[in-house]
A and B are shown apart, each in its own frame.
Chain A
Amino acid sequence: MLDTIILVLDSTFRLSTPLLFACLAGLFSERSGIVDIGLEGKILGAAFAAAAAAYVFQSPWIGLLAGIIVSVLLALVHGYASITQRGNQVVSGVAINFLAAGLTVLLGQAWFSQGGRTPALSPATRFESITLPFADTLANVPVLGPIYADLISGHNILVYASFAAVPLTWWIVFRTRFGLRLRAVGENPSAADTAGLSVTLLRYRATIICGILCGFSGAYLSVAQGAGFIKDMSAGKGFIALAALIFAKWKPVNAMFTCLLFGFLDALAIRLQGQEIPGIGEVPVQVFQALPYVLTVVLLAGFIGRAIPPKASGIPYVKERT
């Protein structure tokens, strides 16, 4: 029984990690007032770039770097459209999702001729799992041993990084001057402008941070969890992250718990596939797949608490009205 629980929780961590990165990415963007439907595209673009670079340079770290660069470039396109050109942020995000979906397969096919995939990565070119100190010696201690050895130890470095990013994000957003200003431009840009802050610059910085975090998310998918890029490998994770962000009410610690919950649903769905649950019978796997989305809709409708986004999010800032 304990083994099963540990197994499910273990895969919960693995499945939550890309969501968590993306969710925190969205948090920075939306806190600054830029709605980001394009998380999905950035994750996908980063996943492709990371796998391609990791393969070509035989290094997961260069892969990660390439993923971040591509994701930031996509983020800058979004920034240019929605900050400088004051275009429709949703439309821009949709465009970025398509751009990534098309370009990854197109370039993948042109460069590697494997139907849009990248070549499979060898273990040395991936982020491998890390065994934490004393995991082996403690493994035989009842209850705590397996929890430490199997659940906490044995993940790759990006999993730990994603959870480390949570307190870091909290500290940046709520305890630094940058964070205060970030929240100010997301809530009331004209007041921030009057106080002498550059709304444009702050929003661009938030967008870039969003790009960096999406880069981590994508690289995790292709060079840590997977071994290479597969067409559409983000599979809606960007949208789940968006749902998680709403669920978390744009707060970092909530974001972690929401991502863990959504990851848990995912892990449970895999675990329960084709199995009878006593008293309920077989639950279709689609129920678990749809649950995050349904929960988000219910939350947005205000049935379980109210989700209030940053006030200025989605509205382009016009410095002076003539």
Chain B
Amino acid sequence: MSKGQLPRWVDYGLLPALNLIAAFIVSGLVVVVIGEDPFEAVKWLVYGALGYGEGIGYTLYYATNFIFTGLAVAVAFHAGLFNIGGEGQAYVGGLGIALVCLAMDRFVPWWITFPFAIAGGALFGAAWAFIPAYLQAKRGSHIVITTIMFNFIASALMVYLLSNVLIPQGTMSPSSRNFEAGGQLPLLRNVFTSFDFGQSPVNLAFFLALAVCVVVWLLIWHTKLGYEIRSFGKNPDAASYAGISPVRITVVTMLISGALAGLMGINVVMGEQTRLLLDFAGGAGFVGIAVALMGRGHPIGIILASMLFGLLYQGGAELAFEIPTISRDMIVVIQALVILFAGALEHMFRPAVVAFFDRFSSNTAEA
């Protein structure tokens, strides 16, 4: 191993762990500032997320959302594109899913609706990502800015649609009508009756998420397109000299990314709420950024990071309940610190670790 290089396990295991620990230490300090015992907080957090069946169910439910949005951000990252618009794409994807469910739920069972809903979510999510992608590829407008703008446009559009178009007559709250049985995904508590999931909304979308992880893994590391995406991300100039069209890769990658974000709606719209609600994405698109950064863009890493964030979300709710001075927003703080340390400050510990390993390896070389 040459100087300055690190073994793979350090790069993919130790460094992210150090970043994560730093984020947790600062979070713990915040709890101390509030005047509570951080260890007590951790205890309630872990108990709330994993201590009983319903908690586990909620943890898995949240994790499902984050797997979809995390994969969306990660796929774009592989092409060197920062898709900050997962939130908007998920939101509009939910519209596609809701439209399919509203059209089919009264006539067919859920398993016939399901593939169409997947297609609807993916299609709408991809469509919402297409415009920023096209503008970046063809007209040079920066994808970060355009996807941010598209988040807000999506929000305005959905408020309009929900409160003027999709709202059932005679009701006041902006949402679509409730789907009939044909538009509802089975909940795991009804499928695996031997395990006590309580009232948690974890549903079949969890398995869809895992399946999508496998598909993304195959796509990125075992197809020609995946190779092109990664080459383009590593060095766009070299990739285009090698005959990879920057326009095509940018657009195709963003379509895939948007489709993945759009699928998130399956879990919430078709699985939990069984209708289209305002702001149902609830920031999951942004959590995807933290998840993708922490998971280093790899599906396995993303599953682990999603589980961690699912745990934080569910445990955070329990924490807020048990220790009222710590509000649910503690999760947002932890999330921010994870993004900060695992993303923006990812190289902070690297020099020290490199120095440590260099000394270690030179010692063994001399001996």
Residue pair A239, B340 in contact (C-beta under 8 Å): no
A116 x B329 contact (CB < 8 A): yes
Which residues from chain A contact B148 at a C-beta distance below 8 Å? 37, 239, 242
Chain B positions within 8 Å of A246 at CB level: 145
Number of interface residues of A (CB under 8 A): 49
Write the nearest CB–CB distance from A207 to chain B, whole angstroms: 14
B339 and A296 form a contact (CB under 8 A): no
- What A residues does B35 contact at CB under 8 A? 110
Q: Are B289 and A102 in contact (CB under 8 A)?
A: no
Report the bound CA distance from A103 to B325 in whole Å. 13
In the complex, which residues of chain B have a beta carbon less than 8 angstroms from the beta carbon of A86? 347
Complex CA gap A26/B33 in Å reads 31
Q: How far is the CA of A286 from the CA of B158 in the complex (A)?
A: 9
For window 140-165 of chain B, which residues contact chain A by CB distance below 8 Å? 140-142, 144-146, 148-150, 152-153, 156-157, 159-160, 164
Decide yes or no whether B251 CB sits under 8 A from chain A.
no
In the complex, what residue of chain B is closest to A307 when comparing beta carbons?
B141
Of all chain A residues, the one with the shortest Cβ separation from B36 is: A110
The smallest beta-carbon distance between B24 and chain A, in angstroms, is: 15
Asked if B249 is an interface residue, CB under 8 A from chain A, the answer is no
Which residues of A sit under 8 angstroms from B140, Cβ to Cβ? 302
Contact (Cβ within 8 A) A297 B329: no
Interface: A88 (CB within 8 A): yes
Q: Is B344 within 8 A of A92, CB to CB? A: yes
Within 8 A of B (CB), among A195-220: none
Within residues 71 to 130 of chain A, which ones have a CB less than 8 A from any CB in chain B?
77, 80-82, 85-92, 94-99, 101-103, 105-107, 109-110, 113, 116
B30 — which chain A residues lie within 8 A by C-beta?
Answer: 103, 106
Among A35, A92, A105, A301, contact of B135 (Cβ-Cβ < 8 Å): A301
User: Does B139 have its Cβ within 8 Å of any Cβ on chain A?
Assistant: yes
Query: Is there an interface contact between B337 and A301, defined as CB atoms closer than 8 Å?
Result: no
Known: A94-B289, A301-B141. A106 touches B330 (CB 8 A): yes
Chain A residues near B343: list those with CB within 8 A. Answer: 87-88, 91-92, 94-95
Whether A305 sits at the interface, judged by CB under 8 Å, is no
Number of A-B residue pairs with CB-CB distance less than 8 Å in the complex they form: 154
When the two chains form the complex, which single residue of A37, A89, A99 contacts B337, counting CB atoms closer than 8 Å? A99
Cross-interface CB contact of B340 among A99, A105, A236, A309, cutoff 8 Å: A99
Closest residue of chain B to A289 (Cβ to Cβ) is B156
Q: Let me know if A157 is at the binding interface, CB within 8 A.
A: no
**A280 an interface residue at 8 Å Cβ cutoff?**
no
Q: Which residues of B contact A302 (CB under 8 A)?
A: 139-141
Residue A294 interfacial (CB < 8 Å): yes
Give min CB distance, A148 to chain B, whole Å: 36
Q: B residues within 8 A CB of A290?
A: 152-153, 156-157
**A255 near B: Cβ within 8 Å?**
no
Contact B335 A98 (CB under 8 A): yes
B84, B150, B340: which has the most chain A beta carbons within 10 Å?
B340
Are B339 and A95 in contact (CB-based, < 8 A)?
Answer: yes
What residues on A are CB-neighbors of B160 within 8 Å? 284, 286-287
| B340, A95: Cβ atoms closer than 8 Å | yes
Contact in complex: B344, A109 (CB < 8 Å): no
| A107→B327 CA distance, assembly (Å) | 9
> Chain A contacts of B345 at CB under 8 A?
80-81, 85, 87, 92
Inter-chain contacts of A88 with B (CB < 8 A): 82, 343-344
Q: A286-B160, A296-B145 are in contact. Are A99 and B336 (CB under 8 A)?
A: yes
B238 on the interface (CB 8 Å rule)?
no
Report whether B348 and A110 are in contact in the complex, using a CB–CB cutoff of 8 Å: no
In B332-367, which residues have CB < 8 Å from any A CB?
A: 332-337, 339-340, 343-348
B326 within 8 A of A: yes
Give the Cβ gap from B354 to chain A, nearest Cβ, in Å: 14
Whole-angstrom CA separation of A82 from B34 in the bound complex: 29
Min CB–CB distance B288 → chain A (angstroms): 11
Taking CB atoms, residues of chain A closer than 8 Å to B164 are: 284
Closest to A303 in B: B139
**CB of B44 closer than 8 Å to a CB of A:** no
Name B139's contact: one of A96, A289, A301 (CB within 8 Å): A301
Cα of A107 to Cα of B29 in the assembled complex, Å: 13
Identify the closest chain B residue to A87 (Cβ).
B344
Whether a CB of chain B sits under 8 angstroms from the CB of A293 is yes
Q: Is B340 within 8 A of A297, CB to CB? A: no
Q: Are B34 and A110 in contact (CB under 8 A)?
A: yes
Enumerate chain B residues within 8 angstroms of A85, measured Cβ to Cβ: 344-345, 347-348
- Chain A residues near B153: list those with CB within 8 A: 290, 293-294, 297
> Is there contact, CB below 8 Å, between A106 and B327?
yes
**A47 at interface (Cβ–Cβ under 8 A)?**
no
Q: Report Cα–Cα, A80/B341, bound state, in Å.
A: 12
| Binary contact track B50-89/A, C-beta < 8 Å → 1, others 0 | 0000000000000000000000000000000010100000
Task: Decide: B326 and A90 in contact? CB cutoff 8 A.
Answer: no
> Chain B interface (Cβ within 8 Å of chain A)?
30, 33-35, 82, 84, 131-132, 135, 139-142, 144-146, 148-150, 152-153, 156-157, 159-160, 164, 286, 289, 293, 325-327, 329-337, 339-340, 343-348
15 contacts between A and B (CB under 8 A): A37-B84, A81-B340, A90-B82, A95-B339, A98-B333, A101-B332, A103-B336, A106-B34, A106-B329, A110-B325, A116-B327, A246-B145, A287-B156, A287-B160, A290-B153
- Starting from the known contacts A86-B347, A290-B157, A294-B149, 14 additional A-B residue pairs (CB-CB under 8 Å) come to A77-B340, A92-B343, A94-B289, A95-B340, A101-B329, A102-B336, A103-B30, A105-B329, A106-B329, A243-B145, A286-B157, A293-B152, A297-B150, A301-B139
